[in-house]
């Protein structure tokens, strides 16, 4: 007997949408979620307090950033492993003490923020975090415990082992994104009738799939993928979208979140659809 997939959910989401919104505190906002990618990278001051202040001033509630650990285990919001090129400093962050990293300036003017300072400075914001190296995992576990911030964050990584370590340490209240293996299984399951693979992906502990529209020559985000994700209670967040037409297409598909560098554009698109949720 052929399997019929459910139609995409109506937008904006109702309050009875079940596990897609209700499994994690991080995901308790009505969708679609607007994410400020690296705080808003369009002006070049990505991952700085200046960027995060601008994002929250526009009404963004969800802030995305990368995380590195210094040699003395201080977590900083920064994308690259090295200070070179992006700042006036030099050297790998993991090999430098915080006192030295603190002297570097992004584009010659903005300091690199500590993650603990950001969590305190923006107490009502949700943070989407990507630990960029294994050395950042244990300090992140410690920090989230110290600040009682587990419910405020979602953790993602291309290295599934990092996410598994965080989930094992912090428990099921931690929202995590799917790892590469689960994502690949979800893509395959979305093309197949219900069966063992679909039942396998339905057991994922992740709350969301954070994905590009396509990976190399393989399309990721289409109607089948979104339907499969919603069927198993997983939100779909798409990165990094800076084109209006693409934003509109993704919203028509029913994605649950969009990450962008162009904060004003995404806000305008969502407002026009009556989907903007101001922080």
The residues assigned a catalytic role are: 37, 79
CA distance 45 to 23: 34
All residues at 6 or more sequence positions from 131 whose CB lies less than 8 Å from its CB, including other chains: 66, 67, 68, 137, 140, 155, 157, 162, 166
CA distance 70 to 164: 22
CA distance 276 to 211: 21
First-residue to last-residue Cα distance in the chain: 47
Structure tokens at 11: 């937008």
Q: How many CA atoms lie within 13 A of 132 on its CB side?
A: 17
> What residue has token string 């029913």?
254
> What residue has token string 């309050």?
15
Task: Indicate the SS3 state at residue 148.
Answer: coil
Largest CA distance in the chain: 65
CA distance 93 to 237: 29
If we measure between CA atoms, which residue out of 162, 165, 144 comes closest to residue 153?
144
């Amino acid at each position: 007997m052929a399997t019929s997939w459910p139609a995409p959910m109506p937008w904006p989401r109702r309050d009875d949408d079940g596990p897609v919104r209700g499994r994690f505190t991080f995901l308790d906002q009505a969708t679609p979620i607007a994410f400020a990618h690296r705080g808003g990278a369009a002006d070049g001051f990505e991952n700085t307090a200046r960027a995060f202040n601008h994002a929250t001033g526009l009404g963004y509630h969800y802030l995305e950033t990368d995380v590195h650990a210094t040699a003395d285990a201080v977590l900083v919001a920064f994308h690259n492993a090295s200070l070179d090129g992006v700042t006036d400093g030099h050297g790998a962050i993991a090999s430098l003490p915080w006192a030295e990293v603190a002297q570097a300036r992004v584009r010659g003017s903005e300091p690199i923020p500590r993650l603990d300072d950001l969590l305190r400075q923006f107490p009502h914001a949700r943070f989407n975090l990507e630990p960029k190296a294994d050395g950042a995992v244990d300090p992140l576990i410690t920090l989230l415990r110290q600040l009682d911030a587990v419910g405020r964050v979602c953790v993602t990584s291309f290295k599934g082992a990092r996410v598994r370590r965080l989930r094992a340490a912090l428990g099921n209240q931690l929202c995590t994104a799917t790892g590469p293996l689960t994502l690949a299984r979800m893509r395959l399951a979305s093309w197949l009738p219900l069966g063992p693979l679909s039942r396998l992906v339905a057991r994922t502990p992740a709350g969301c799939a954070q994905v590009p529209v396509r990976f190399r020559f393989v399309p990721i985000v289409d109607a089948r993928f979104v339907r499969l994700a919603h069927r198993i209670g997983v939100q779909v967040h798409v990165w990094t979208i800076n084109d209006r037409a693409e934003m509109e297409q993704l919203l028509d598909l029913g994605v649950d979140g969009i990450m962008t560098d162009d904060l004003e554009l995404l806000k305008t698109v969502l407002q026009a659809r009556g989907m903007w949720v101001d922080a």
